[in-house]
Amino acid sequence: MKMNVPTPHIDAQIGDIAESILLPGDPLRAKYIADHFLENVKQFNKTRGMLGFTGTYKGKKVSVMGTGMGCPSIGIYSYELIHFYGVKNLIRIGTAGAMQPEVKLRDIVIGMGSCTDSNYMHQYGFPGNYSCIASYELLSKAVHSAKEMGIPYHVGNILCTDLFYKPDTYNKGVTWSDMGILACEMESAALYANAAYGKANALCILTISDSGFTNEVTTAQERETSFTKMMELALDIV
């Protein structure tokens, strides 16, 4: 495949980005990870303010870059990372809202599957519905590492939605929570689909930032800098 780099969205050359990358939605969270966890850091992207860095973690080369919000945004970045930069392992580290009462604020959720209300999958022209699932290799590593690190976690289905603010008419029938969905976020389905199409590995690791069951909400600064267990878990499996 012809490598047309830099791409319109990533100002990097071949070799600037590691085969394993962490993908927070917030580019400032990417900078926080680079500043606090990585050594020998070099910035490879600042186009559109989407900061990207490559460094080493415990001697292993790893990259981190923001993706923005929603399936279209992470869809663009993950496609370019896989098809133009040869990235093999993509781990989304993001925030989510709890959809089950046992999923508490700041809990870790590992997305085994991703249900979605997005139209992202329509591009493939399937004669049915595609099941967006994580890489078992990364999923099993994450579960093992969480146990070893003593990090409480939940594993299961998550919801990837296009709607942050939902109308009152949204989903008046059986709810996602009724179907056992653990948490809601906005990027995992596109990431899992792009990884499957590009023969790469993908996993979504989330920290619960708000809960409708307890009405608890974390601040923007907390989401950027304090969800370190999720960051450490992701770094441990790259």
Structure token digits, residue 40: 């020998």
Q: Identify the pLDDT of residue 162.
A: 94
Residue 3 pLDDT class (50, 70, 90 cuts):
low
For residue 14, the 8-state DSSP code is T
Residue with tokens 């926080």: 32
User: Any residues with CB less than 8 A from the CB of 14 and at least 6 apart, and which?
Assistant: 3, 5, 85, 86
CB 220 within 8 A of CB 108: no
Please give the single-letter amino acid code of residue 108.
I
The torsion angles phi and psi of 82, rounded to 5 degrees, stand at -75, -50
Structure token digits, residue 184: 């809601």
Q: Residue 51: which region, alpha, beta or left (left: phi > 0; alpha: psi -120 to 50)? A: beta
Q: Does residue 31 register a pLDDT over 80? A: yes
Structure token digits, residue 191: 């990431």
Query: In the chain, what are the domains?
Result: 20-237 (3.40.50.1580)
| Catalytic residue IDs | 210
Q: Identify the pLDDT of residue 187.
A: 98
Query: 23 forms bridges with which residues in the sheet?
Result: 92
Q: Tens digits of per-residue pLDDT, 136-164?
A: 999 999 999 999 999 999 999 999 999 98
Integer Cα distance of 5 and 3 in angstroms: 6
Q: Identify the pLDDT of residue 127.
A: 94
Percent of the chain predicted with pLDDT > 70: 98
pTM of the prediction?
0.94
SS3 23: strand
